[in-house]
Amino acid sequence: MANTYPQIDLTRGTGPQGHRARMRARVRANGAHTLADYEILEMLLFACVPRKDTKPLAKGLIGHFGSLLDVFRAPTHALRTAGLKDDAIRVLRLPGVAAERLASSEQRERPTLSNWEQLTAYLAQALEGGIPGQFRLLYLDNRNRLLADEVAPETNSLADRNRAIAIRALALHATALIGFHIHPKERPADLSQSARQLDFAMRPLSITLHDVLVTGEGRPVGFRQEGLL
Report the pLDDT value the prediction gives residue 207, as an integer from 0 to 100: 94
pLDDT at 104: 52
Given a contact cutoff of 8 angstroms between Cβ atoms, the answer to whether 53 and 19 are in contact is yes
Residues 145 and 178 in one domain: yes
Task: Evaluate whether residue 93 is within a structural domain.
Answer: yes
Residues 90 and 155 in one domain: no
The CA dihedral of 50, 56, 62, 63, to the nearest 10 degrees, is -160
pLDDT at residue 166, as a whole number: 93
103 with 176, same domain? Answer: no
Q: Give the integer Cα–Cα distance in Å for 92 and 74.
A: 10
β pairing state of 208-215 and 221-222: antiparallel
Q: Are residues 150 and 75 in the same domain?
A: no
Under a CB-based contact definition with an 8 Å cutoff, are residues 38 and 30 in contact?
no
Residues 135 and 105 placed together within one structural domain of the fold = no
166 domain residue, yes or no: yes
**For the chain, percent helix, then strand, then coil, each to nearest 5?**
55, 15, 30
| Burial grade of 184 (CB within 10 A; 0-12, 13-18, 19 or more) | middle
Ordered alpha helix ranges (H), the chain: 15-30, 37-45, 55-65, 68-73, 76-81, 86-109, 116-126, 158-172, 188-202
Co-location of 92 and 144 in the same domain: no
Asked if 147 and 127 sit in the same domain, the reply is yes
Look at residue 140 in the predicted model and tell me its pLDDT: 93
Q: Is residue 138 assigned to a domain?
A: yes
Q: Could you list the residue range(s) of the whole structural domain that residue 204 is in? A: 116-222
**In this structure, is residue 3 part of a structural domain?**
no
Q: Cα separation of 31 and 124, whole Å?
A: 43
Over its length of 229 residues, how does the chain's per-residue pLDDT go in tens digits?
444 433 333 334 445 567 778 888 887 888 878 888 888 888 888 877 777 788 888 888 888 889 888 888 888 888 888 888 888 888 888 887 776 665 555 555 567 888 888 888 888 877 776 788 889 999 999 988 989 888 888 888 999 999 999 999 999 999 999 999 888 888 878 888 899 999 999 999 999 999 998 887 777 888 887 777 7
Domain membership of residue 27 (yes or no) is yes
> Based on the structure, what is the number of domains in the chain?
2
Per-residue model confidence (pLDDT) at position 6: 39
Whether pTM > 0.75 for this model: the answer is no
- If asked whether residues 45 and 93 sit together in one domain, one would say yes
The verdict on 82 and 127 lying in the same domain is no
